[in-house]
Amino acid sequence: MRVNSVVAGVAMTPFGKHFDKSLKQLGGEPVLAAVKDAGIELSDIEAAYVGNCAAGTVTGQESIRGQVILSSVGLGKIPIVNIENACGSGSTALNQACMMVSAGYYDVVLVVGVEKLYHENKAVTYAAFSGAVDIEERDKMMEEITAGQSEGSGTNRSMFADFYGVMAREHMEKYGSTPEHFAMVSAKNSYHGSLNPNAQFANEMTVEEVLAQPTIVEPLTRPMICPVADGGAAAIIVSERKARQLGIENPVRVVSSVVHSFYDHPEDAEENVSSLCVDEGYYEAGIGPEDLDVVELHDSSAVTEILVYESLHLCPPGESVKLLADGETKLGGRIPVNTSGGLLRKGHPVGATGVAQILELTRQLQGRAGKRQVEGARVGLAHNGGGTIKGEVAAMNINVLMR
């Protein structure tokens, strides 16, 4: 289904360690700010979709997460739908909101993504990630990936770090990439993050400084793997009719919103869940990769960003490292990627990540991204996926925004 909805307002908390803030605060604060940004009242909201992945594991709050969070700011009675879909929880919440608005069921819908991941016991935090795979296959899968050297995986590092290490080593073998190339991604995103007051890490790093950090999984150093974070983000989605009533000038529209899930296919098949989402996203939006002005993609690791360049057709197969090395994905380049700092520098509060991507793109397209503004940006794409089944992403989301 083609979507046709407008982003009327956005807001987010700074991402980072917030031991002093509850899940209610992390979710409630951006809701009130997004309502103000949209120029509406809480009472105008007709439905809400709340993306969260790990509250049950980390905080113990299960079942009614959205209802608990929103009641704390005075919002209730309306339909509140809780969405859990791995790292794509927030993006999937956005998809559902846009679908309902496009179908004419609602004129004003709230989207919230929120996560509280930091815990005094790191093993609790990492346990939230260890369930994002087929748990009946998990032990066998980890044995194969780590060759029996899995000590510390899931206790002092996310088990997904081991996946990224495999991906990096395979990329080096296949394309001749080097640790320096992975460090270039982290350095680029650190520059972008240094311009974003909501990023968890504001210090800019050089390639040499990235390489000098401790190795988490060979060949990836700490800045090459995204950190967890606490945080929340919110967006107000409205119909075209409501946008006119609100007098929104130069509205940012969600013109494509695609969600697909893992499915079995031959290993050598040209199509997979990621390519299916990407191709459908471009088709629904009526654009191609050459039309993009800015991209927010799921850089859960430095090698992931490099791989996604090709997935999004930003460059021909095998030329992703060249695209990076030529500076094309940095601010001022042909197609700036992760101007927010990405997951690598902004942090990754799982359920909030997808909505924060929409905030970054909306502000870019509205010309209010400050020092990290992409001049003349009119079309943006958000790529957000999570979970793993049989070595492939379990849930994939593509959203295209246009001014």
**Predicted confidence pLDDT, tens digits, the chain (403 residues):** 678 899 999 999 999 999 999 999 999 999 999 999 999 999 999 999 999 999 999 999 999 999 999 999 999 999 999 999 999 999 999 999 999 999 999 999 999 999 999 999 988 998 888 888 888 887 777 777 766 555 655 555 678 899 999 999 999 999 999 999 999 999 999 999 999 999 999 999 999 999 999 999 999 999 999 999 999 999 999 999 999 999 998 899 999 999 999 999 998 888 999 999 999 999 999 999 999 999 999 999 999 999 999 999 999 999 999 999 999 999 999 999 999 999 999 999 999 999 999 999 999 999 999 999 999 999 999 999 999 999 899 999 999 999 9
pLDDT on residue 159: 83
HSE (CB half, 13 Å, CA atoms) of 210? 28
- The residues spanned by each domain of the chain are 5-120+228-402
Residue 87 is among the residues annotated as catalytic for this protein:
yes
Tell which residue, 110, 103, 104, 102, has the closest CA to residue 4: 102
Question: In 15-88, where does DSSP find H-type helix?
Answer: 23-38, 55-58, 65-71
Fold of 5-120+228-402: Peroxisomal Thiolase; Chain A, domain 1 (3.40.47)
Sign of CA dihedral 187, 11, 47, 78: positive
Tell me the backbone φ, ψ of residue 302, rounded to 5 degrees: -65, -40
pLDDT tens for 366-392 read: 999 999 999 999 999 999 999 999 989
Q: Active site residue: 18, 181, 348, 383, which one?
A: 348
Residue 383 is among the residues annotated as catalytic for this protein:
no
Tell which residue, 346, 371, 330, 10, has the closest CA to residue 188: 330
- The DSSP line for 65-81 is HHHHHHHTTT--SS-EE
> Are residues 12 and 352 in contact, defined by beta-carbon separation less than 8 angstroms?
yes
Q: Active site residue: 53, 87, 226, 315, which one?
A: 87
Q: What is the DSSP letter of 392?
A: E
